Structure formats: structure tokens, C-alpha cells
């Protein structure tokens, strides 16, 4: 991934640093003046970088339109309840009023019932905000805004245009108008560009199209994101089970979801829980707690290797040389396993591989494991025989040692690829996220078996000589 | 990540299977009839699942509008040159004519000069396609389409609407109209919704807004994706260095880029190159080659562990018990290292951490390493002392062994987190992708040092007793 700021777009970043300094030096008049010329997304970054008490003071000074559009762009406002309390209920109500209903709901969600009442009692569109508060945050309902432009299907184009004029709050985010029947059920969609090129007397009914995608408020937000990406729609209507139009979700809401889910997946891959704030801002103790859990769990699993090694203690005592290759053998199993699990997890996420394909995948990975194990085994064999020719350190039975390593690598790598590819299927079948089959998890799983395979092969090949 | 098809939207999938069967049984009349009622994205999936020769036959039978919109949705058409040759130059020309210029350029890119000539000689908009072929595939130029609606800034709203009518090919993907001066330089952007609510006699100049984002054709596609996501724009104009309007990129083009880049990053994370086709479709030999390279490289690095172990062979011979904890110690270093690298890579990708922050990150990770190592060390200490109390297997000096493991874990985990967090900075500084600091890479890097730390701590603590 590249980073726009570090790759040439340095200018705005500099300006934002200045803005941050103005706030920190309490020069709020200058701050507000400059804030008028800054994009809400950039202003959101500046606000996010400020101390909480400074941020509240700055927001209270900003014109409500500017403050609200910056708040809408802040990924996750930390302690929104404290922010709202700091600016006072009247200004808080103005902010909430100005925000689209989904952002407003996010902002007041953390307030206590009494505080929320104080803020919302002033808000005109309170019913819509209340409705959104009822949906889980990670559902389509939690993502949608109730601010849609709707017209009756028997309206004319001229009436539809009039509806846009009166109902739309931000025309740069308006991509389609919804046609509804007399009860408010969604009947069709009119792309705004189609409206613009039609004669004013035509009826909406004649222009409207069947929605390619429509979602219900209880659907998972990730599923919504995937549908929108698949069908290339900039906005998707949200309807209840009877087809009543509740709101819409636009692609920019979904972009944030995809980014957050991607972060969660990637961190899961690295063997840890997602942090709930940027790396440099999250409290040290919180970060360590999030990491310690997984590390400790992996450590407990890995302890089985000490038990397995104790089991083969006599063999090691007889042939210390066997111990030399332990790290090499088990890491090869771990690496091939994490490669296989990564491949399968990603193919599942892209919909290239489904649960029902498990048998095809396993067969394929079995064959891949044999070949890859053979390659690594051959390299290992060469390394031992060549190294011995030069240094002589592996003793009289160096060829048997080389065969032991060769055979073990085939076994360990094959087991690794099969375990790594099977694990995501098992996790999904059990209802867990297949992405939890992270590299460290797979490696831990494979290590103990790797040791057993190695020492078993060794006792077969070396019996009567070294063992 | 969840999978829409497997989670309830089973219906369409079934219908698509039927469609696929029709094609495979050569019932093309029925196929074409049904294809009219299928979304291009779904039809693209069906086509992608067919054998190459069947696909070419099906496409040749489809009406050109349907074939072209499905082709536009196919992520990567395998061997597009063979497809175009199979349907013949006349039909190929019709297809290319129907596609937006970016998709057309992708399709003909693989043809030889002579074949391309045969196809393009029939195409009216050939100049635009030729121009796009000049840009690298992963640049803004390779992503953009030249099909934009542009109007002079001194035109009226009525004239702009007329321009949409005559210039636009697909109004569902039209989000904004571009205002240009007499030389074709971009002057401003008019959101389509703003046009629809304005009186016909107003001038475009009065309505137009400054573009929030504009890009140049040589910019990296990932940077374009990041800018569009940040500023929530559904479309972005592409201009040359003089500000001349060349084309536009829409959010749906960018969604595909983000998905492809994400796949590349995730697979890199798992320690392998990205495949160039879906997992179950890529040829076995090709997949194995892509995987064997990284595995062999890691294996060669991991061989150093055998050298390091050989160096401590005498210590192991004297105290075999030391060998028992080797897998546990080195895997803890690898796990903590891959956790740290994942965290830093992701924070870099999100722009939360920049190169200049390296010192802050390292200090933080040093502290985190000490704490995490202490936690694992304490667990290890308890495990050894408790286990010994029950079984007595660790001999008279079990307490010294437990202290050795405790001390080594603090050292190894601290080194692991520091190496894991520093590596992405080093890779980026050297111009590589920080995401290459995958879990297997970090683990391999940390294993050798882990062994050295372990045996050094052991020789300090156990000298005079076991060693």
C-alpha cells in the first residue's frame, strides 16, 4: 500500500499541521477562518489529532455546517458523548440536526438516556434518528441514512425535480431518486442523469428501473459492501420486509466499512485483535492487552512442542545431530501451512472457493504439498551432503541424516499445506471467520505434528545406526 | 470476509449454474434468450467459468451490447487475444466499439500489432483507444475512460443537458459533467443533481465547483483509489500536466483495483506471490512454481538455524533438556515479530504511521516487547516449575532451567517485536513494499537470533551446573 501524503501530495499535510498548531495555541479565530477553506475529510484529520478538550473547544467555535461535515468524516469519534456534553445541549442539537441521520445516530449512540433526551428533544427529524439507533452498528440499518429523495411513481419528471429541490440536503451525494407507491413501498429507481434528459411531462413510472440491488436493514454491512462492489452501484436502497423504503446507503459509507473490515482481517492474519484507534494513539496498556491474549494462547499451544520433544529426549541424547534440524523442519511446515491457509482464506473472501469445494482443495493441496516438500527436501539433502563433504561435521552416517531430513520435509510440508488449507474450511463450517486461520495459528498447529513426523522418520531410517 | 452467495442469496447462483449448463450443452439459443435477463456482473461470472473455446462461441452468439457489458465486468479476461481472434475481426470491432475506451484498451492490449490493426481499423473512436494503450495498466491512465460529458464553461444549463443527451453512453454511471475552456482545459465540475435543479438559462460557469480531487494519467492507481475513498467522490477527472481534460475514473473501476491490491497484499503476507487467476482455475504447475520460490527462499534463510544449532552442539550434548524448549522459544519470537510487523504495515497503509515516526514506533515496540516477553516468560516459568513438581522430569536444576526460559523469552520476544516493527520501515525506505514483511519472513529472520539469545542466556545461567 502506498501513502498519498508521503508521495508528493505533501502540501496539504503541511497546511494541516499549521491548522493543528493554531488550535493548540488557542488561536481559534484564525483556526475558524482557515477551516472554511479545508475539505471536511482533512479537517476531520486535524480534529482527530487534537487533545479531547481542545477538540471540543474548537468544535464549539466552528460554524455548525463546517463542524458537522467534519464530524461526519471522522472515522470513529472517540468519546462522542463527552464531545456533545462539552459543547452543550443546544449546539449539540444543532450539530445532530445538520448531520445525516446515520452520522447523527452514531454520535448520540453513546449518550445516556437522559443526555440523549436533552440533545434530541430539539431535533426535528428525531423519529428517523431514533429508528436508526435501533439497528446494530454493523448492519445495513446502522449504515443507512434516512435522507432519501422519494417521489410517487405517478409523479411527473417536473414534480420529481421539484422533490429533489425540496428534499435533498447535499446534491453532490445524490445519485438516484426513489419511486414509491402510495404506501411508501419502493417501486423503482430513477438515475438522476435519466431525469435530466427527460421531458418534464413524462411520468416517473415510465423512466424508473428495477433496482439491481436492494438490501434489508438487518443485513450485514460487509454483505452490502460486497453487493455494491459486485454490481457497481453508487447507492443502494434499504427496504423493510414488506418493501417499504427506509433509506439508502452510498458507496462512500461502504468504503469505510471495507477499510475497517480489511484492517480487522489483516490484523487477525498477523495473530491479534484489531485495535480500536490508530497505532500511535491507542493507549500502551490497551495495545499490550490486545496482543498478549493471542500471544499467550499461541504460547500455550506451542508448549506441546516441549512435551513432544521430551518424548523424544532419548533419541536426541543418542544423536544430538537430530536436534540441529528441528527448527528448520518445523518452520518449513509452518511456512507451507500459512501459505496454503492464506491462499484459501483469500479465495473464500473473493468467492472463488466455497465450502462445497473443500475436497477439491484438499486434493490439490495434497499434491502441492508433495511437490513443494520434495523441492525443499532436495535442497535440504544437497545442503547436508555438500556441507559434510566440506566440513565433515555430520559424521559417518551423514547420508542417512540427509535422507531423514529429505523424507521428513516431504511429510511435514505435505501435512502443513493440508492442515493450512483445511483449517479455514473447518473454521467457516463452525461459524467462525476463516481469516482467523492466521500464519501464527497454523504454524503452532503444525509444529507439534512436525516434530512427531521428523522423529518417526528418523527412528525408521536411523534404527541400528545412530539410534 | 463473508460470502454473499453462501449466505442466503442462493437463488441467483442456482440460475447461473443452469445458464452454464446450457452453454456447455451447446444450447445457445436458450442461453442467449436467458442472458437478456441476467445482470452483466452475473453473466461475466458464467462466462468466466466456461472453457475458453465454449466461451468464444457463446460470446459470438450474444447480441453485441450484452456481450460487451459482460466483458466489461470480467475481472481479467484470460487470453483476450484468443477470444477476439475466435469471434473474428468484424464482431471483435463491434465489441470494442461498444465498450468504454478503458475496457476496450484492456481487451486489445494483448493482440499483436497486425491483429490489433485488423480489429481497430473498423473502430470509430480508435484514437482514444490508442491513447489509453500508451499508459501502464496500473496507472490512472490505464484505469480511466475517455467517455466523459464535457461542456464549455460559458454554455447554459440547457446546452449542458443537451450535451448529456448526445455524449453520454450510460447514464446510470454518469455522476458529473465537466466544464472546459475553449482549449479543453478542465475548469470545473457540475454534479448532475445540481444541473437538474437549475433553471435552463443559467450558465455552467455559475454552477460549477472546483474539483476536490483531480489526477494525472501517470499517477499510481492505488493512490487514485485512496484519494477517491478519502474524499468520497464517485468520479474523478483525469487531466494532463497542462490541465487538459483526458477522461475520468469512476468508483467502480477503483473498487476492482482495491480488491486486487488487497489480494496481492494478503498473499504477500502469507509469504507468496499473487496468482493471476482464481485458485481453482490456475494451472497446478503455475501455482506450485509461484509458491516454491518463496518457500525455498525462506528455507535457505532458515538453514542458518542448523548452522547456529551446530555451534551449540556441545551445550545440547551436555544438557539435552535445553533442546526441549528450542521450538517454544523460537516460535514465540516469530509470533511476536509477525504481530508487530502486521500492526506497523497496516498502520502505514492507513496513513497512521509515516517513515518519520520510526523512532517513536521502535521505542513503543521495545517497551511492548519487554512486557509481552515478561508475560510469556512468566507462563513458561510456571509451566516448568509446576510440571516438574508433578513429574520430576527436569532434574535437580529445574529452577535454573525455568529461569533460563524466562530470561530467554524476554530477550527473544523483545528482539522479535523490534525486528518485526523495524522491518517494514526498512523495506519502505529501500523502496520495497512494506507488506513484504510477512509473518514467515519475520519468523525466519528472528529464528536464528532467537537461538543465539537462548543459548547465551543458558550458558550464563547454567555455567557450573548443567553446562
Using an 8 Å CB-CB cutoff, list chain A residues near B309: 323-327
User: By mean pLDDT, which of A144-153, A387-396, B265-274, B350-359 is the weakest?
Assistant: B265-274
The CATH architecture one would assign to domain A150-250 is Roll (3.10)
Using an 8 Å CB-CB cutoff, list chain B residues near A354: 3, 5-6
Nine cell digits for residue B202: 443559467
**Which residues are registered as beta bridge partners of A249?**
A236
- CA atoms of A105 and A225, how far apart (whole Å): 20
**Residues with Cβ within 8 Å of residue A297, at least 6 apart in sequence:** none
Does residue A372 sit in helix, strand or coil?
Answer: helix
Q: Do A280 and B361 touch (CB under 8 A)?
A: yes
Using an 8 Å CB-CB cutoff, list chain B residues near A328: 299, 302-303, 305-306
Q: Point out the residue among A302, A309, A342 whose CB comes nearest to the CB of B324.
A: A309
Question: Where does chain A hold its CATH 3.10.580.10 domain(s)?
Answer: 150-250
CATH class of B284-462: mainly alpha
Q: Do B352 and A313 touch (CB under 8 A)?
A: no
pLDDT tens, residue by residue, B31-83: 888 888 888 888 888 888 788 788 888 888 888 888 888 888 876 666 777 77
pLDDT category of residue B425 using cuts at 50, 70 and 90: very high
Nine cell digits for residue A421: 488449507
Nine cell digits for residue B161: 443537458
Q: Give ipTM to 2 decimals.
A: 0.72
Mutate to test the interface with B, among A102, A320, A322, A387 (most CBs of B within 10 A): A320
- CA atoms of B254 and B173, how far apart (whole Å): 14
- CA atoms of A237 and A189, how far apart (whole Å): 9
Q: Point out the residue among B226, B306, B353 whose CB comes nearest to the CB of A328.
A: B306
Report whether CATH 3.10.580.10 matches the domain B150-251.
yes
pLDDT tens, residue by residue, B295-310: 888 899 888 999 899 8
**Topology of B10-134 in CATH?**
MgtE N-terminal fold (1.25.60)
Closest CA–CA distance from residue A60 to any residue of chain B (Å): 24
Pick the CATH number of A10-138 from 3.30.465.10, 3.30.750.80, 1.25.60.10, 2.60.40.1180: 1.25.60.10
pLDDT for res A13: 56
Residue that is written with C-alpha cell 495434497 in the block: A366
Nearest Cα residue in chain B from A373: B292
- Comparing A169 with A284, which gets the higher pLDDT? A284
Select from A98, A1, A124, A87 the least CA-distant residue to A40. Answer: A98
Closest CA–CA distance from residue B352 to any residue of chain A (Å): 6
Using an 8 Å CB-CB cutoff, list chain A residues near B434: 1
Question: Where does chain A hold its CATH 1.10.357.20 domain(s)?
Answer: 284-462
pLDDT for res B12: 54
CB B340 within 8 A of CB B416: yes
Mutate to test the interface with B, among A295, A360, A372, A384 (most CBs of B within 10 A): A295
Using an 8 Å CB-CB cutoff, list chain A residues near B438: 439
pLDDT tens, residue by residue, A401-449: 999 999 999 999 999 999 999 999 998 899 888 877 777 888 888 999 9
Q: What is the mean pLDDT of residues B147-154?
A: 91
- CA atoms of B114 and B111, how far apart (whole Å): 8
Q: Do A310 and B324 touch (CB under 8 A)?
A: yes
- CA atoms of B426 and B430, how far apart (whole Å): 6
Phi, psi torsion values for B177, nearest 5 degrees: -110, 140
Q: What is the mean pLDDT of residues A141-161?
A: 90
Q: Do B320 and A325 touch (CB under 8 A)?
A: no
> How far, CA to CA in Å, does B113 sit from each of B77, B81, B95, B98, B116?
19, 11, 18, 21, 5
pLDDT for res B11: 45
Closest CA–CA distance from residue B112 to any residue of chain A (Å): 31
Integer-rounded Cα radius of gyration of chain A: 30
Q: Point out the residue among B270, B376, B380 whose CB comes nearest to the CB of A439.
A: B270
pLDDT tens, residue by residue, A55-85: 888 888 888 888 888 888 876 666 777 777 7
Give the rounded percent of residues in chain A with a pLDDT score beyond 90: 32
Amino acid at each position: 500500500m502506498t501513502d498519498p501524503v508521503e508521495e508528493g501530495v505533501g502540501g496539504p499535510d503541511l497546511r494541516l499541521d499549521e491548522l493543528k498548531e493554531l488550535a493548540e495555541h488557542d488561536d481559534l479565530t484564525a483556526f475558524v477562518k482557515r477551516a472554511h477553506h479545508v475539505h471536511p475529510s482533512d479537517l476531520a484529520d486535524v480534529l482527530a489529532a487534537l487533545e479531547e478538550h481542545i477538540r471540543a473547544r474548537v468544535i464549539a467555535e466552528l460554524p455548525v455546517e463546517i463542524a458537522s461535515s467534519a464530524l461526519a468524516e471522522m472515522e470513529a469519534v472517540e468519546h462522542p458523548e463527552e464531545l456533545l456534553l462539552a459543547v452543550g445541549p443546544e449546539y449539540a442539537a444543532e450539530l445532530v440536526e445538520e448531520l445525516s441521520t446515520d452520522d447523527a445516530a452514531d454520535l448520540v449512540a453513546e449518550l445516556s438516556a437522559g443526555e440523549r433526551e436533552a440533545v434530541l428533544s430539539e431535533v426535528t427529524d428525531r423519529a428517523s434518528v431514533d429508528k436508526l439507533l435501533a439497528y446494530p452498528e454493523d448492519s445495513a440499518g446502522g449504515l443507512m441514512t434516512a435522507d432519501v429523495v422519494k417521489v410517487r411513481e405517478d409523479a411527473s419528471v417536473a414534480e420529481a425535480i421539484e422533490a429533489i429541490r425540496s428534499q435533498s440536503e447535499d446534491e453532490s451525494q445524490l445519485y438516484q431518486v426513489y419511486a414509491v407507491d402510495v404506501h411508501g413501498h419502493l417501486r423503482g429507481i430513477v438515475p438522476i442523469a435519466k431525469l435530466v434528459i427527460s421531458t418534464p411531462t413524462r411520468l416517473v413510472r415510465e423512466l424508473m428501473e428495477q433496482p439491481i440491488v436492494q438490501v434489508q436493514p438487518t443485513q450485514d454491512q460487509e454483505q452490502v459492501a460486497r453487493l455494491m462492489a459486485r454490481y457497481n452501484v453508487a447507492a443502494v436502497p434499504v427496504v423493510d420486509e414488506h418493501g417499504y423504503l427506509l433509506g439508502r446507503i452510498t458507496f462512500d459509507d461502504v468504503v469505510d466499512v471495507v477499510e475497517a473490515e480489511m484492517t480487522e482481517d489483516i490484523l487477525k492474519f498477523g495473530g491479534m485483535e484489531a485495535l480500536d484507534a490508530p497505532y500511535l494513539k491507542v493507549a500502551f496498556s490497551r495495545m499490550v492487552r490486545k496482543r498478549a491474549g493471542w500471544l499467550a494462547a499461541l504460547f500455550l499451544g506451542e508448549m506441546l512442542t516441549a512435551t513432544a520433544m521430551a518424548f523424544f529426549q532419548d533419541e536426541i541424547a543418542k544423536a544430538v545431530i537430530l536436534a540441529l534440524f528441528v527448527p528448520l523442519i518445523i518452520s518449513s511446515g509452518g511456512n507451507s501451512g500459512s501459505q496454503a491457509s492464506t491462499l484459501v482464506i483469500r479465495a473464500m473472501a473473493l468467492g472463488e472457493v466455497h465450502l462445497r469445494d473443500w475436497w477439491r482443495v484438499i486434493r490439490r493441496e495434497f499434491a502441492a504439498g508433495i511437490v513443494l516438500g520434495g523441492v525443499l527436501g532436495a535442497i535440504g539433502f544437497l545442503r547436508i551432503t555438500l556441507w559434510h563433504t566440506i566440513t565433515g561435521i555430520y559424521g559417518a552416517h551423514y547420508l542417512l541424516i540427509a535422507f531423514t531430513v529429505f523424507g521428513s520435509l516431504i511429510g511435514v510440508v505435505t501435512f502443513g499445506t493440508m492442515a493450512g488449507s483445511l483449517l479455514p474450511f473447518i473454521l467457516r463450517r463452525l461459524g467462525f471467520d476463516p481469516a482467523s486461520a492466521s500464519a501464527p495459528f497454523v504454524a503452532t498447529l503444525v509444529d507439534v505434528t512436525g516434530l512427531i513426523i521428523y522423529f518417526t522418520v528418523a527412528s525408521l531410517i536411523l534404527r541400528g545406526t545412530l539410534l
